[in-house]
Structure 1
Amino acid sequence: MCALTVTLGSGILFVGGGVEITTFAVESDERAAADQLSESFDTGEQQITQVVITSDQNDTASTAALEETLTLQQAIRDDETINGTLDGPQPTVGVANGVAVASDPRIAFAEEITIADKASALDGRTDEQTAAALSVALRDDEMTPEGQPPVSALLPENYAHGEEPASAQLLIVVHDEDATDDELLDAQQQIESLADDRLERTDSFVFGEALLFERGGQATAESFAVVGPLIVLVVLTMLVVAYRDPLDVLLASVGIGVVLVWLAGILGWLGRPFNQLLIAVPCLLVGLGIDYYLHVVMRYRETRGDDPSFRPAAAMSIALAGVLVAIGTTTVTTAAGFLTGLVSPIEILREFGLVASLGIVSAFVVFGYLIPALRVEIDELLHQRERQSDRAPPTVGSLGIVARPLDQCARLVARAPLAVLVLAFLFTVGGAMGATAVDTSTERSDFFPEERSGWMEQLPAEIRPDAYGLREQATFLEETFPRHTDRTVEVWIEGDVTDDSVTQALQAAETNASAMDTTGTPVDGGGPVESPLGTIEDVAAENETVAELVDEHDTTGDGVPDEDLATVFDAVYEADRDAAAATINRTDGGAYEAVRLSVVVDESADDSAIRSDAVAITDAVETHPELTAVVTGEPILDDVQERAVLETVLLTFLLALAVIGALLTVVFRSRHRSWLLGAITVAPVVAAIAWLIGTMAALSLPYNAETALITAIAVGLGTDYTVHLTERFLAERERAGLRDALEVTLRETGGAVLASAITTAVGFGLLALTLVPSLQRFGIVTAIVVAYAFLASVLVLPSLLVVWDRTRRK
């Protein structure tokens, strides 16, 4: 075992530091189409960094403030780290740029407008003159470079010029699309440093995707650096209460440590980073490990307490014989349940299922073999054969504070099992009905860290998490400024795109796209549809050769070419390659294999409604037998993700239940000659999940990819609880009456389950102290479902067992 630990643990060397924030990319036709569009067309999408400039006292649009932003722009362009990532001759744009051109229109006609030219235009101007120039810039979009947002999009949406000072403004830095994530991160960090140095009259923060992911991972790691020791302290306290033996506390801690080392090593050998979802796996394994060892050690104490003459090895053999089947069954069924996640189209969820399964098997090996063996060796070494008579009560269930409520549960179940089942059924149905009201959306800002809590301010600086406030920054940015980019649906169209009748299908697609209820108005005020036909029309309007060629190949007189499209496409590429490359894909060999259609959609439209509307576009395209079309774009991919999460949850839940139910049925049939015990053991788990869904609906908690993992955890822990209780009840029922069997089962095994549930729930619940909202919600909801799983195990399961037992003996 030591060799295995060293071998697996050495994989830690291949695990990167920190927590990686991973997106929930879904493998789908829509995702593949998005990738193909990105590779095949010059869509004009740009990677940007936003510098948000704010002030509670000064006007951010004053002459002095604008001059500072120009100084910052020059520093950004001059910096070696940033410059290599910048795109085009005008990679930065701010309010000052437009105001400068409005102040001195002559510089707009210069071949190359420099920051120095713009600074000269503002030099010496009064705030009143600058305000007048700003008024012009707000009315005239020509004051900003082509393809970049107008001045009006760089000021607050509710800004009333001339009536109040500008409390904020945006400075946009445009990066080359080929810049790597690492290069962007370095550039954004450097921009942040330059902004702190150059902007003296105003405050600022930098908002960029690379920086967001980096800070999100840092915040998560720093949160765990603070909350982790607190979780460890609480778990150790719970272990002391549960075991009441320093040796068992030590062994449990060692076992947990070994399991976590194995887990980290497995991640390293698999070459997988530690992401935000895998944070749940250590918490799950700690809960299972504590539960496994609680059952082993409590049964070991019972055995030695019943007959002190047993040597440790013999007592442990008897104890393991009593619980190893239950632990093994739990391990197999739970691991199999998590492995059903491999059917998910979401890679990060498949990864979670695999890693969790390997971790569960590791917990079984460590707490079913290694730790019991260590306990026996230590007891034999110390000659502690009479140890039990000199110590506290041997089991958790012997504590009055635990025994009394569990005995009450036993009496209630024995007297009125049907009443308990009816109430549980009503709550289950009510909870399941809540599924229709649960929000399934995923808010990106949920992964951004919040401002640190007040209690964290009292921590020593060495361990105090940084004040990131990314969630507040994202909210401010979204609520303050108008959107300066369009929300679009993209259509990937491939096949014989030069066939003469293709234009008819494209015209029909354009017509349907324009008529969609969810179609919106572009930021620049132009038409909502961008297509190959629109590109041909625009280029023809500027180029006589193309115009003549279009007329020549237009047999219907509607201004649209409908024959020899390859020749027309060639001419368009020759006249304006950039415009053509945006909607018409030409291979290196000169062939045309795909075209692109883009539709601006309403900012407030629901993703599912957009996707439903877009079907009309693909239907129109596919009336041509040689064409296929796939709709993609941000709203489509978001909808695909939400649906994939729901489908994954439903499918994996059903598969997990089917696999677990089948395995338990086989085990209980072979051991106890009953076909019903498998279903009886699984039923409380279903009830607990239904109660959870109802609670989430009542509390308006979203059921997304993060919280969907709680279903898997509920299945894993719930099955563990019910298998142990069922096995113990059946064993006790063979030698005692129904009520005595119930009382012993709930007091002894139920006591161990209670200790495990409290430890797990508290451990997960402490995640609410982290800085990341998604982790806060994850911890709270998991604590709730663990509590529900326990209640279902000590109320619903015993009631079912009582009814089964009485029916069988009639």
Structure 2
Amino acid sequence: MGGVGVVVDYQAVIDWADEWIVGRSKTVLLAFLVLTAVFGVGLTRVSTEAGTSQFTEDSPALEAFENVNEEFTQPFEAENGSTQLIQSGRNVLSKPELVAMLTAQYRLEQREELRVASTASAAGIVAQTLDPNATTLEDQIRVLNRATSTEIEIAVRQAATNPGFRALLSKDFNRRSASASATIGIVEHAIPRGVSQEAGAEASPETDPLAAIQIRSQSVVGSVDSDIRLFGSGILTDELSSVTFDSLIIVIPAAGILIFIFLLFAYRDPVDLVLGVVSLVMTIVWTLGFMGIVGIPFTQLLVAVPPLLLAVGIDYGIHTINRYREERVTGAGVKPSMRRATDQLLVAFFIVTGTTVLGFASNVTSRLQPIQEFGVVAAIGIVFTFLIFGIFLPAAKVVTDDLRIRFHLPTFGERPLGEEGSLLGRTLSSSVVLARRGAAVVVAIAVVLTVVSGIYATGIDTTFSNDDFLPPEETPAYLEALPEPFAPETYTVTELTNFLEEKFASAEDDTVTIYVEGPLREDYALESIQHANRNPPDSFLSSGRQADSESIITVIQGYSEQSAEFRRLVERNDINGDGVPDDNLALIYDRLLDSPAREQALEFISEDRRSAQVIYSTKSGASQDAITRDARLVADRYRFDAVATGEIVVFQSIAATIFTSAIRSLATALAATAIFLVVLYRILVGRVAFGVINLFPIVVAVSLLAGTMRLLGIPFNALTATVLAIALGLGVDYSAHVVHRFTDEYDEKANAQTDGESNEDVFAALTRTVRGTGGALTGSMLTTISGTGILVLAITPVLGQFGLVTALSIFYSYLTAIFLTPSAIVLWNRYARQNPTIRAKSRWR
């Protein structure tokens, strides 16, 4: 068979490893146990991190978003150091509800440890409308208690002229009836300087002062006789951290149970089962311990790493035990059988480890740090898996079987999976029958499916949002039925965020922001903003060919309606009469910032008049991509430095980065794996062609997986974007085992014969390959799908989707390795036999 090259003698390295595994088994066991203890110490130092902030990247949109948040005050945005009091009811502007809100504020203020610096609410505004001298919460409560319902209704109508008052009320606020179904109060906390309260950072009462404050505040507010709930960044990050922990405590035991069941089928021996489970536990301890030692926090993405390592570890373990049993059933002793098994498996494991590491490590090409860390941790974990299952497990098997023989202990299930004559063996051998009867047809069908599926997959959506990481609004019944400690917490974040989105007109809801920097005192500054608003793009809401927007212009126009003197000032400096001043802007800004409208003005222009924000309303049905594209188009119209930003734009930027990362990682993994396999097979067996044959089934599997993702409506998100490169890395495992086992079987036949190879030799080698290695692959596939597919039980949607697509990738990889690889080998053999140059060099060595 063709493509003969120089074969490097690697046997000396294998013999050295065999000597340690077989000849010094107890020393190997001791060394690995010591390392496990070391990594166990690192395990205790693992921290957690959750939320979307970990996915931020350096970009103009993000920088502008941070500047907007820093420079301009939003009506009721939950900023660092603040807590929102969310009150709901039939009418939160009724006397009892107004008093209840002020009572909650007062009780929080009286608790010194809650560090309350200030409070604000619609109830306070109503009280001060009734009595401007009621400046303390105690006075405001007294005023409301003394007022009649009619007086309160009149005060509400008067307060309704204040935009700040309306911003604190739900969208169903009715001025005539003085009613609303929800309101928000703000409590500002004096957080010590130097303490980062960024949403998404690790939050716990011990490490995050704001989280501790908000958690304690919940019990205080709960004592008030009203439906008032708390929301803030501390509560958000605390729940996100809890989701990560709860997902782990559900997924890992569930995966363990399923894996245990399938391992019983694969091993059928209690001692081998214990050895396999111990090796799996060591793999997890080493990997998590490594994270603790180097300081990589455990994120929601990394929840997927333990199941992946369990999947690969199971694969290695089953192959080790099954290959060893294949030798033992021939009557060989313990050490000769293990030496023969490791002779072959260490090479196969090296190939598999190399390709899997390349698949995982390709994610370091991403510009998003969590995906980079995922690639690093997963790649390191695979190396640990190789060491534990390639060296520790065989050494432990030698020690235990020697003890069994010495003490005459019984053995169970010593027959290998897929042996000749078994139902599984006959089923697997059907792939060789297909290759014999129609190899070209099988390969042609695979190529067509790959092309069609690949083209179809180009329509996969790419998304990024907070919803990917938030727990469901309602915990599934099957999770609530779990006993302690597996039962998850009761989560409120998603319910509250949905409530806020439904009830309040937030600046982050269906809006984008243009952040403007420049000399805003220049006469053309406001005209530039007005000009950019004309003829808005399709995704923007508009009225009379003008974009619906809020800016310093709307503040000027609003205050002009309230102050005749200011209106005359604006009119004197409005040269073209369009309602927008275009002269003497410095004086207009000074007068505005010295007026009652100062606070509102500072929401749109900075104190130094060097930056401003313009908020545009967008159509609710418009896609993030269209809104982002149109926002950037509008930003280009400004005469100043202008950047499109806002949550929609930032998240769309991250989504685009995720898609780019997925394609880049896949291309990197594909190129690196192809080079690795071609070079490796040239070194090992002198045939470059087997590197290509090894990769072909996995390219088919990856294409089928991408097409299936679109068919099932699974988008590329923060975690599933990694799955194509991972599918390549994990999938090559299956074809690598088949191809390497075939090279060994065919090599033995070629060395034994004297009259040259025959076509039947290929089929005989393939039959032994798919029965022996195919049996181990079947057990590995079942357990691996269980280990990764169990992620669908995870609480967050992103992990469930990742588990599903990873399980699908394993299934496709198994099918293509078993049923496509033999046909590819047969076609290559026919080509090689018909090529005189290759045929002349058809011996392995």
TM class by smaller structure: 0.7 to 0.9
User: After superposition, what is the alpha-carbon deviation per residue over 1:80-113, rounded to whole angstroms, capped at 9, x for unaligned?
Assistant: 34443x5x4xx2325x556x45xx9432x33626
| Cα distance, 1:486–1:217 mapped onto 2, change above 3 Å | closer
The one-letter amino acid of 1:707's match is T
**Residues 596-635 of structure 1: pairs in structure 2 closer than 5 A:** 596-602=612-618, 604=620, 605-621=622-638, 628-635=641-648
Q: Does 1:29 align with 2:48?
A: no
Query: 8 Å contact 1:618–1:630 — kept in the other structure?
Result: yes
What residue number does 1:739 align with? 763
Q: 1:320 aligns with which of 342, 348, 353?
A: 342
Aligned residue for 1:272?
296
CA distance in 2, matches of 1:69, 1:276: 36
* Alignment map for 1:593-672 (pairs within 5 Å): 595-602=611-618, 604=620, 605-621=622-638, 628-672=641-685
1:582-597 aligned within 5 A: 595-597=611-613
What TM-score, normalized by structure 1, do the two folds share?
0.83
**Which residue pairs with 1:141 in the alignment?**
160
Residue matched to 1:296: 320
- On the 8 A contact 2:635/2:644 being kept in 1, the answer is yes
Is it true that 1:367 corresponds to 2:389 in the alignment?
yes
Aligned partner of 1:609: which letter? A
> Does structure 2 conserve the Cα–Cα contact (< 8 Å) formed by 1:540 and 1:547?
no
Q: Secondary structure at the match of 2:710?
A: helix
Distance between the aligned counterparts of 2:612 and 2:699, measured in 1? 47
Change in Cα spacing, 1:185 to 1:686, as seen in structure 2 (3 Å) is same
What's the counterpart of residue 214 of structure 2?
188
Structure 2 match to 1:750 = 774
The one-letter amino acid of 1:149's match is A
Q: Aligned-pair distance for 1:808?
A: 1.6
Deviation larger for 525-534 or 722-731:
525-534
For 1:222, give the aligned amino acid. D
**Residue type matched to 1:431 in 2?**
S
2:171 to 153, 159, 169: 153
Judge conservation of contact 1:295–1:749 (CA < 8 Å) in 2: yes
Q: Provide the C-alpha distance between the structure 2 equivalents of 1:293 and 1:169, rounded to a whole number of angstroms.
A: 58
Q: Does residue 512 in structure 1 map to residue 532 in structure 2?
A: yes
What is the match of residue 683 of structure 1? Answer: 696
What is the CA-CA distance between 1:334 and the residue it aligns to? 1.9
Corresponding residue for residue 263 of structure 1:
287
1:697 and 2:710 aligned: yes
Change (3 A) 1:27 1:722: farther
- Does structure 2 conserve the Cα–Cα contact (< 8 Å) formed by 1:396 and 1:755? no
Match of 2:120 in 1: 92
Please tell me whether the aligned partners of residues 12 and 267 of structure 1 are also in contact (alpha carbons under 8 angstroms). yes
What's the counterpart of residue 76 of structure 1?
108
* Cα displacement (A) at 1:171: 3.1
Q: Deviations over 1:322-351 (max 9, x none)?
A: 121221122122212322222211111011
Shift of 1:511: 1.5
Task: State the shift of 1:779 in Å.
Answer: 2.0
Distance 1:568 1:484 in 2: 26
Which residue of structure 1 lines up, in the alignment, with residue 743 of structure 2?
A: 730
Deviation at 1:516, TM superposition (A): 2.4
Q: For residues 618-676 of structure 1, give each alpha carbon's deviation from its aligned partner in whole angstroms, at most 9, with x where no partner exists.
A: 4344x6xxx65433221211110110010000011001100011111111223333333
Report the counterpart of residue 478 of structure 1 in structure 2: 501
Q: Report 1:390-409 matches (<5 A).
A: 391-397=413-419, 400-409=422-431
Q: Which moved more, 1:383-392 or 1:398-407?
A: 383-392
After superposition, what is the alpha-carbon deviation per residue over 1:200-235, rounded to whole angstroms, capped at 9, x for unaligned?
A: xx5554333321221132133234324422321221
CA–CA separation in structure 1 for the residues paired with 2:465 and 2:104: 32
AA paired with 1:655? T
Alignment partner of 2:630: what SS? helix
What's the counterpart of residue 551 of structure 2?
530
Range 509-518 or range 757-766, more displaced? 509-518
Shift of 1:761: 0.8
Contact preservation (8 Å) 1:532, 1:597 = no
Paired AA for residue 79 in structure 1: R
User: 1:41 deviation in Å?
Assistant: 5.9
Residue 293 of structure 1 aligns with an amino acid whose one-letter code is G
Secondary structure at 2:171 match in 1: helix
CA contact (8 A) 2:36 2:282 kept: yes
Match for residue 419 of structure 1? 441
- Deviation readout 1:739-764 (Å, 9 max, x if unpaired): 22222221211121121111111122
**Structure 2 vs 1, CA of residues 694 and 37 (structure 1 numbering), >3 Å: closer, same or farther?**
same
Map 1:219-238 → 2, pairs under 5 A: 219-238=243-262
Deviation at 1:149, TM superposition (A): 1.3
Matched to 2:820, the amino acid is V
Cα distance change, pair 533–368 in 1 and its aligned pair in 2 (3 A): same
Residues 289, 363 of structure 1: 8 Å contact kept: yes
Counterpart of 2:355 in structure 1 is: 333
Partner Cα distance (2:72, 2:95) in 1: 41
**CA spacing shift, 1:673–1:20, aligned 2, 3 Å:** same
How many residues were matched structurally? 769
The whole-number CA distance in structure 2 between the counterparts of 1:506 and 1:651 is 43
Asked if residue 806 in structure 1 is aligned to residue 833 in structure 2, the reply is no
Q: How does the TM-score come out when normalised to structure 2?
A: 0.80
Work out the percentage of aligned pairs sharing the same amino acid: 28
SS of the equivalent of 1:440 reads coil
Residues 359 and 730 of structure 2 are in contact (CA less than 8 Å); yes or no, is this contact kept in structure 1?
A: no
Unmatched 5+ stretches in structure 2: 1-30, 198-207, 750-759, 835-845
How big is the shift at 1:195? 3.3
Structure 2 counterpart of 1:619, one-letter code:
D
Query: CA distance change for structure 1 residues 214 and 258 in 2, over 3 Å: closer, same or farther?
Result: same
Pairs within 5 Å for 1:246-261: 246-261=270-285
Which of 336-345 and 59-68 deviates more?
A: 59-68
Task: Determine if contact 1:725/1:750 at 8 Å carries over to the other structure.
Answer: yes
2:731–2:813 CA contact under 8 A, matched in 1 = yes
Q: Are 1:154 and 1:170, in contact at CA under 8 Å, matched by a contact in 2?
A: no
CA contact (8 A) 1:653 1:711 kept: yes
> Which residue is equivalent to 1:452?
475
What code does the residue aligned with 1:346 have? L
Paired AA for residue 703 in structure 1: F
Aligned equivalents of 1:582, 1:81: Cα separation in 2: 31
Aligned match of 2:401: 379
Give, as a single letter, the amino acid of the residue that structure 2 aligns with 1:464.
A
Residue 237 of structure 1, CA deviation: 1.8
Query: Could you report, residue by residue, the CA deviation over 1:25-80 in whole angstroms, capped at 9, with x for unpaired residues?
Result: 1332322333345456667755254444456xx76665444433332232233333
Write out per-residue CA displacement over residues 279-315 of structure 1, whole angstroms, 9 at most, x where no aligned residue: 111111111111112222222222232342x4x3332
Contact preservation (8 Å) 1:661, 1:679 = yes
Q: Which amino acid aligns with 1:478?
A: E
Letter in 2 for 1:121: L
Q: Name the structure 2 match of 1:714.
A: 727
Which one-letter code corresponds to 2:626 in the other structure?
A: A
| SS at 2:296 equivalent | coil
Contact 2:57 2:368 in 1 (8 A): yes
Give the whole-Å Cα distance in 2 for the aligned partners of 1:170 and 1:499. Answer: 35
> Which ranges of structure 1 fall in alignment gaps of 5 or more residues?
none
Offset of 1:456 from its aligned partner? Answer: 4.0
1:249-299: CA deviation from partner (whole Å, max 9, x where unpaired): 122112111111111111112212211100111111111111112222222
Give the aligned CA root-mean-square deviation in angstroms: 4.2
Q: Distance in 2 between matches of 1:776 and 1:552?
A: 60
| 2:615 match: secondary structure | strand
> Which residue of structure 2 lines up, in the alignment, with residue 673 of structure 1?
686
